[in-house]
Amino acid sequence: MTKKKTRKKRYAFFLGCVTPFREASYEIASRRVCKELGIELVDMDGVNCCGLPIEAINRDMALSMAARNITIAEEKGLDIITICSGCAGALTKTNSVMKESSEVRDQINKYLKEIDREFKGTIKIKHFARVLLEDIGIEKLRKLIKRPLSGLRIAGHYGCHVLKPAAHMKFEDPENPTFLHELIELTGATDARYEGEKDCCGSMVIGVDTDVPLSQVRKKMNHVKDAGAQALVTICPSCHLMFDSNQEPAGKPFDETYNMPVLHYPQLLGLAMGIPPEELALDELKVKADEVLLAIEGLS
């Protein structure tokens, strides 16, 4: 009897702006892990910014930009997967608002009609973490762990947009989330809990005031170090950029040297799945994860 092949899960892959231009390691690791998971990522040609940066200035323009992206995935008949929390938030909110309000939908479709597009509301938007939890499942993921990261203490940073606004995201309690703790623990690592786990990274205001974001980085690094973590894990390119790139300037006022590796979650998961570090773009991290990799080698 011929064994049936498992059908691949297919998603329209929305990269956003920050990942391809400043956080390519996130894309590389995500594509590699998805290949191992049997997930087919279908590239979305011709997409634009998700609209998040201008929502506070022009709501209709932000909705139109997000809706245009959604129509590209609708044409493919595929749900969207994104590795950016900000994009996940903007696209999900637009999808939700336009499905729920015929008035908003008609107004935005009026704009889209000028470029021969129409939002129909036929697909879902999911952050990569939600795909892992809801479409793959923790139990199946555990079976794919070939090299448990036992002995490693890893702290997680949730960020804001994958959970808020809760009315549209509909993903766990934003004040008491647990999913990232689960995702860390399934790799075999110890989840290092720390003060300020849900604090914002500060990236949304760095263009206006650098002191506030650097203060956020400083607090985060101090709390993570106090928890005995060997690395911090993020699920958003903007959050990763803040913590990976700003440890030196954040530490200067107090002569701190944090030297805390900040990994994209797919890198952590990929390591636990036995994928070689060079295939996960670990070498592109600004704060090198050499000690983490040495500790993993010691587990073999």
pLDDT at 32: 98
Per residue in 181-210, pLDDT (tens digit) is 999 999 999 999 999 999 999 988 876 778
pLDDT at 1: 45
Q: 14 in helix, strand or coil?
A: strand
Distance between alpha carbon 112 and the CA centroid of its chain, in Å?
28
Q: Which residue has the tokens 């059908």?
A: 7
Contacts within 8 Å (CB) and 24+ apart, 194-197: 194/155, 194/223, 194/224, 194/226, 194/227, 194/229, 195/223, 195/226, 196/220, 196/223, 197/155, 197/156, 197/157, 197/158
Per residue in 257-273, pLDDT (tens digit) is 899 999 999 999 999 99
From 74-83, 110-119, 205-214, the region with the lowest mean pLDDT: 205-214
Q: Label the pairing between strands 153-157 and 231-234.
A: parallel
Domain extent listing, the chain: 9-127, 146-299
Architecture of domain 146-299: 3-Layer(aba) Sandwich (3.40)
254 band by pLDDT with thresholds 50, 70 and 90: confident
196, 166 Cβ separation under 8 angstroms: no
Whether residue 52 has pLDDT greater than 70:
yes
Query: Position 253: which residue type?
Result: P
Whether residue 297 has pLDDT greater than 90:
no
The structure tokens listed for 4 are 């049936």
Q: How far apart are CA 112 and CA 163, in angstroms?
A: 28
Q: At 243, phi and psi to the nearest 5?
A: -80, -30
Whether residue 4 has pLDDT greater than 70:
no
Q: Which fold has domain 9-127?
A: Glutathione S-transferase Yfyf (Class Pi); Chain A, domain 2 (1.20.1050)
Over residues 106-127, the mean pLDDT reads: 98
299 band by pLDDT with thresholds 50, 70 and 90: confident
